[in-house]
């Protein structure tokens, strides 16, 4: 059993609890899936909400990353030297 303070909240995967956990999770994804998430993380690092999970629901950021700051998302994108193209 993990002693980490990064425990998942109901309905959330463990990898959404911290930038370090997200970075580790993204390293295991296929390149297209990783790129898609890094694009979303980049937009959220600029203050965007990540879009809605469902058309009628709350945004991704509010549901999956409520405690994350813009800098937390930036930390993940920088771990991959990800820079969005203008």
What pLDDT, in 10s, does the model give residues 47-83? 999 999 888 899 999 999 999 999 999 999 999 986 6
Q: Output the pLDDT for position 9.
A: 54
Question: Domain map of the chain by residue range?
Answer: 15-79
**Residue of 13 and 73 predicted with greater confidence:** 73
Q: Tell me the mean pLDDT in the region 16-41.
A: 95
Give the C-alpha separation, 11 to 5, whole Å: 17
Provide the mean pLDDT of the chain: 85
The string of DSSP letters for 38-63 reads HHHHHHHHTT----BSSTTS-BHHHH
């Amino acid at each position: 059993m993990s002693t980490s303070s990064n425990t998942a909240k109901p309905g959330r995967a463990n990898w959404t609890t911290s930038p370090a956990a997200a970075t580790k999770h993204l390293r295991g994804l296929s390149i297209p899936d990783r790129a898609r998430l890094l694009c979303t993380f980049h937009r959220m690092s600029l203050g965007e909400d990540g879009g809605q999970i469902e058309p009628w629901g709350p945004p991704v950021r509010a549901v999956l990353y409520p405690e994350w700051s813009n800098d937390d998302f930036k930390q993940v994108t920088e771990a991959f030297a990800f820079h969005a193209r203008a």
